[in-house]
Amino acid sequence: MATSLLPLLPQLLLVLFALAVLLYDLGNEDRPGLGSLAMLGPLAALLGLGIVAGHPGEYWGRMLKVDSFSLFFQLLTYAGTFLVILLSRDYVERQPIHRGEFYTLILLAGVGMSVMASSAELLMIYVGLELMSLSSYALVGMIKRQDQSIEAALKYYLMGAVTSAILLFGISLLFGITGTTYLPDIASALALTKDIQGNLLLIAAVVFVLAGFGFKVSLVPLHMWTPDVYQGAPTPITAFLAVGSKAAAFAGFIRLLATGLPAAVSLWQPLLALVAVVTMTYGNMTALAQTNMKRMMGYSSIAQAGYILTGLVVFTPDSLAATLYYLLAYLFMNIGVFACLIWVANQQESEEIAAFRGLGQRAPFYAVSLAIFFLSLVGIPPTGGFMGKFYLFFAAVQSHYVWLAVVMVINSVISLAYYYGVVRQMWLEPCLPAAPGAAAGGTSRWSMPAARASTSTPPAAASSTPEKAQSWPEPTKPASLALGVAVVISLLLVLLLGLYPQPFFEWVGKAALLG
Amino acid sequence: MAQWAWLVALFPLLAFALMEVAPGRLRLRRDTLGTVAVAASFVVSLAVLVDVWAGARAAASWQWAQVGPVQIPMGWQVDPLSAVMLVVVNLVSLMVHVFSLSYMEGDVRYGRYYAILSLFTFSMLGLLLVDNFLGLFIFWELVGLCSFVLIGHWYEEKANSNAAMKAFLTTRVGDVAMLIGILVLFAHLGTLKYGDIWSAAQSGQLSLDVITTASLLLFGGAIGKSAQFPLHVWLPDAMAGPTPVSALIHAATMVAAGVYLVARAFPLFSLSPTALYWVAVTGGFTAIFAATIAVVQDDIKKVLAYSTISQLGYMFLGLGAGSLVAGSFHLVTQAFFKSLLFLAAGSVIHAVHTQNLHEMGGLYPRMKWTAWTWMIGALSMAGIPPLAGFWSKDEVLLAAYRSPYPILFWLALVAAFLTAFYITRATWLAFFGTARDEQRARHAHESGWRMQLPLGVLALLAAGAGLLGASWFGHPFTHFIAGSVPAGTHLAEPEPAGLVQGLALLAAVAGIAVAGGIYGGGWVSRASLIRAGRPLYVLLKRKYFVDELYGWVFVKGTVALSWLTGAFDRYIVDGIVNAVGWLGVQLAYATGDFDQAVIDGAVNGVGQAVEGGGRLLRRAQTGYVSTYLVTLATAVVAVLILLVLRR
Amino acid sequence: MNTTLLAFFIVAFISLVAAWRVITDPSILHAGLWMGLSFVGVAGIFLLLEAEFLAGVQVLVYVGAITTIILFGIMLSDVGEVRVGPEPPGWVQAGAAWHRGLRHAFPLLVAAGFAGTMLGLYTQSGWGQLRERPLELAGLSVGGIGRELFSTFALPFEIASLVLLAALLGAIVLAMREEER
């Protein structure tokens, strides 16, 4: 038995820490070090992962699969879980949240994600998905005094339950058609089927399983929960949904399509191509109109799901590797954005985009970091996001999906506009009005009719600095170390992925073989 | 020395890094640090140029990453084209650094200004040095970012930050095409290195269609960066940045990157007559298009901005006509005379605190140095021999004359006339005649050696740099620059034609004379002229309404589309969402009790709040879970039925 | 038409009508009871499929436990009827009559479309080898299911316990009355 428990080591460790946090939190007192204990969980799991990495294979009656693909996504999951807990440390202090249950549920969701990633068995993937989902539903509603939070949890739960049923229906159809839920067996059964296109039941099965996963990664038209839930959820949980949930769902998605349904590629490829294009365009267009930062990130994450999906549409080893690479970069850039958002929300008590006003002067470190994360999300070098997009574009063009690459590039230009809205708040919109004598005084003296005409004259007379003249409200709460650490980690990795992609390329290249 | 060329880019990068991380005292000396670094770069680049002129080449490459079987290398190279450009960029950058010491003195963000200037210089040099398209694209974006930050330097005014965004977004439209062009090449050849691509293209590995497509897509990037029609709209607005920045980025270096790109990819372009044709047509059209607008501008910097667009058009015309030399030679001379004009304009603006030509006048007695250097730049641009502009413009005109489309020659000739006209007009309005604003004119004065020295140096080059390509010395530049393309590349070397030189000179002199007559001699009053050609005047004044058109089509269009999808989102709260549908949420609010909310949600969810057919789409996202659920179910079932029926 | 088929139609009809009433009955308590009936109907279908064990589990767990808990919850939380929300604006009421019809018709249309399509699909051949090789799991004995659960499906079975833990935790945290801190 000991040998068969070994491949489960990371998940077991995570469960162990989840239970430890739960037990330690029993009783009414505030337990010191609860967050640190929770953070140890994913760290221990990472260590365990290092041990498991040496034992690839299939265990537990083919229920558990340890391969480079599962190792990749497990690492993504544990890193994401760790960072999310890091983001939560400050947050839970300031919100009426039950910390013990909060951390426990995050860890349990992490277990669910890693289960989804490390099996080629639909039953396991489904159970993992449910574990992740049920934990997420509760996590979204954790701020019980905020109606928005409860409302979001309700919506997420109801829609999640319905799509989960649809997914299960699809799985049962697949089982009905092939007599198995083990993906490689499904693939070989389908490979024997002569008329894939004409198998109507298979069409139904494919549509239903795609709907199930499409909901989790928020593809249009199954995206409707995303903005509401992103806005209502506690911010670290929003980050968790954006990176953890999405990555795990994509892990299941890729495993399903690449291992289970490669024979039915002619069925799902055109459908997903259409969905990818609609998703990224819809997400980007709608994000333009948002005023709430979390809601905007919700639409942004819809658009990003569209980009990521293109890797599946193209469906070559390169494009799958590009998908994984993009997910890796996406993890860090998104965590970074949310860390900055939490920092700002702590200071300003607001999550509106307007709260970022003047951040460039108040906290240049966070402002510059956020700008870099945005650049990465848009896909501008030298960031990880650029490398990821470039890789995706390359894979698409190589397989003659030039039109898809064109749509993606055009979309990334559109996305520039709404990220820029935030950047403008940070730098280009100082707190108004400044001391009237400062910058404005110089302009009026030159008596130019239009403000535009005077704009490039040197403000020689305007040497009294507006920076000093403006008085920012003193930060009411001390800046948090944990958030800073999360930003620094994310920043380093985003830049590393952009500047030195080689080892990561090799890694995702191997993982994308799904062997 | 050539093998040390990478040092050129290293110095500004180090300076930038030091400025950002170094604590305390060093941070206070950012201006010195930046200037010294660029000076060092300049010295090295000069040595490199001498070396390369003597025939040396250098390159180094290492593997950066590997995608599947495909290698992505990163490396640098120097050849005649990049060696010349390195010197030009470093020189102009150095001059701008020195000029800014005085011009930007006391600025709110003085330190940051120098830091970004260093970063820009590094990126621009990197762009020239890299030996592959991926590196090119990365630096291409970096210079765009620096340009964005510097245009918005005085971001307290909304117009400036808008201009910055406009520049960034507009150029990115071109970048879309360029990135796809790069990917097309990459996908076909599996390599990004210039040399490999040229040799593959010349050995016939690529079909003509692919070459044409890739070239035109790359040219799309050049159109954006070099502000060619129809993506020219950002450059005039970019004048919102500090004037030295305009001189460096928006006259001499970054905007010239597009020309550099086409010159760099000339081995590819030259294989496709279609691509060359479009390059020539775009360039020729833009040259005359922008020149006509420049004629009526009142803002001295806008005159120069449209003039830059027009001159860049000349360069593309030269390249498109098949002459690598014409394009790249004009690129070099334009960098000198245009940055000179910009810096001189900066000196004037610094003295009189206005950019409006009609508020200047009569400055010559008080600012002789500035006036003379300006006039050297102006005459050089107008094309008066033996100044630099004459020789390079002559090459362009000659190439157009000998090209298959001589109509472009006549267009360019008219543009030459207009060039001479508008620059004379600006000269007269700024420096001569009566002072239209006594107050300003009386206070005008030169601003010290830090501003005068760069003017002097650049004036010298604007006058003399043309001799490099002069027929008197047997076109040394021509032979030199030909060394930057593989041996097999077809280079048009047009026969000299006395007619072309004569006509060019005639156009320049006529332009100067007519403008001098109107503005200096008072042949006709400005008012009557405007009255006579009212519709034309309005058309030019409003820049052919291109901005308005874009405002309508793209900005309003995007806003409308966003509104439409946004309406999908939350704004359409039709009361028709039936009363019971409301209830689930209401009840959840009221009691805060999850169980009830779940039950009510379920109760309301499936059965009740559903819409009639026509309104269905509009209401796709109203925030009510019941609607969400029905939409979701409808979507899944609809897709299923569609797929089943399609079979 | 043999008796099994007849029994199936009766049981299925009962299930469907009960399910329909769950979402239309204005009284939540009644809705809960309808749900119980619907579960019983499903148990009946299991019986017809000769899956006696599953039928038993269905009755014990779904009817016995879940429905009862839900009914308790409803009665304890003291919400009898679904109240009507705020009055819709006037212009809305004008078109209300027309919409009322569609409002009910549309989900029915979707459901009918779905049911029709699926019925059509089931009649198609596509079941692969399954037609020839009847599902081994169907009609498994209690012992067989037990053995399967603790051998082949041990891992998902254990993870399902974590799912329950997460659900339990979530439900407790969300339902717990908030004390003022």
pLDDT digits (tens, 9 = 90+) for B266-283: 888 888 888 889 999 999
In this predicted structure, the answer to whether residue B511 has a pLDDT above a threshold of 80 is yes
- Percent of chain B beyond pLDDT 90? 5
| Distance between CA atoms of residues B174 and B120, nearest Å | 20
3-state helix, strand, coil in chain A (%, to 5): 75, 0, 25
Which residues from B are below 8 Å from C when comparing CB atoms? 574-576, 578-583, 586-587, 591, 593-596, 599-600, 602-613, 616, 630, 633-634, 637, 640-641, 644
Residues 74-93 of C with CB under 8 A from B: 74, 77, 79, 82-89, 91-92
Q: What is the mean pLDDT of chain B?
A: 79
Q: Please write the tens of the pLDDT for every residue from B187-200.
A: 888 888 888 888 88
| Distance between CA atoms of residues A109 and A107, nearest Å | 5
pLDDT at A478: 53
Between B446 and B229, residue with greater pLDDT:
B229
At what angle are helices B594-607 and C68-77 packed, to 10 degrees?
A: 110
Nearest C-alpha in A relative to C162 = A131
- Give the contacts of C123 (CB within 8 A, at least 6 positions apart): none
Residue C59 covered by a domain: yes
| C neighbour chains, 3+ CB pairs within 8 Å | A, B
- Domain end: C78, C93, C128, which one? C78
Look up residue A478 and give its amino acid: P
At what angle are helices B300-320 and B273-294 packed, to 10 degrees?
A: 160
CA A460 to chain C, closest CA, distance in angstroms equals: 56
- Residue C64: domain span: 1-78
Residue B410 CB: number of other CB atoms within 10 A?
A: 15
Number of domains in chain C: 2
Distances, alpha carbon A186 to alpha carbons A121, A325, C128, in Å: 10, 27, 11
| Distance between CA atoms of residues A415 and A423, nearest Å | 13
| Distance between CA atoms of residues A445 and A463, nearest Å | 14
Burial of A359-381, coded b for 16+ CB within 10 Å and e otherwise, reads bbbbbeebbbbbbbbbbbbbbbb
Residue C148 covered by a domain: yes
B644 near A CB under 8 A? yes
Residue C105 covered by a domain: no
The ipTM estimated for the assembled molecules is 0.83
Spatial contact of B360 and B440, defined as CB atoms under 8 Å apart: yes
Residue C92 covered by a domain: no
Residue A292, SS3?
strand
Look up residue A480 and give its amino acid: S
Which of A110-119, A391-400, A505-514, B604-613 has the weakest average pLDDT? B604-613
Taking residues B216-234, what's their average pLDDT?
Answer: 88
Inspect the interface and report whether the beta carbons of C178 and A63 lie closer than 8 Å.
no
Distances, alpha carbon A450 to alpha carbons A429, A462, B354, B440, in Å: 20, 18, 11, 18
3-state helix, strand, coil in chain B (%, to 5): 75, 5, 20
Inspect the interface and report whether the beta carbons of A101 and C172 lie closer than 8 Å.
yes
CA B559 to chain C, closest CA, distance in angstroms equals: 28
B152 near A CB under 8 A? yes
Instruction: Give the CA diameter of chain A.
Output: 86
| Distance between CA atoms of residues A500 and B72, nearest Å | 12
Residue C83 covered by a domain: no
Residue C176 covered by a domain: yes
In this predicted structure, the answer to whether residue A336 has a pLDDT above a threshold of 90 is yes
Q: How confident is the model at residue A40 (pLDDT cuts 50, 70, 90)?
A: very high
| Distance between CA atoms of residues B632 and B630, nearest Å | 5
Q: Chain centroid to CA A158: how far?
A: 22
Q: What is the mean pLDDT of chain A?
A: 84
pLDDT at B610: 27
In this predicted structure, the answer to whether residue B536 has a pLDDT above a threshold of 80 is no
Taking residues B398-407, what's their average pLDDT?
Answer: 83
Residue C91 covered by a domain: no
| Distance between CA atoms of residues B389 and B372, nearest Å | 16
Between B29 and A41, residue with greater pLDDT:
A41
pLDDT at B604: 36
pLDDT at B112: 80
| Distance between CA atoms of residues B126 and B145, nearest Å | 14
Spatial contact of B595 and A185, defined as CB atoms under 8 Å apart: no
CA A15 to chain C, closest CA, distance in angstroms equals: 9
Select the residue from A58, A125, A135 to test the C interface by mutation, using most C Cβ atoms within 10 A: A135
| Distance between CA atoms of residues A342 and A234, nearest Å | 10
- Domain end: C63, C78, C93, which one? C78
In this predicted structure, the answer to whether residue B556 has a pLDDT above a threshold of 90 is no
Length of chain C: 181
Q: How confident is the model at residue A21 (pLDDT cuts 50, 70, 90)?
A: very high
| A neighbour chains, 3+ CB pairs within 8 Å | B, C
Distances, alpha carbon A49 to alpha carbons A62, A66, A73, A110, B31, in Å: 19, 10, 11, 14, 51
CATH number for position C1: 1.20.120.1200
- Domain end: C25, C57, C78, which one? C78
In this predicted structure, the answer to whether residue B140 has a pLDDT above a threshold of 50 is yes
Name residue, tokens 């202090």: A93
- What is the reported pTM? 0.81
| Distance between CA atoms of residues C123 and C133, nearest Å | 18
- Give the contacts of B215 (CB within 8 A, at least 6 positions apart): B181, B265, B268, B269, B272, B275
Taking residues A141-162, what's their average pLDDT?
Answer: 85
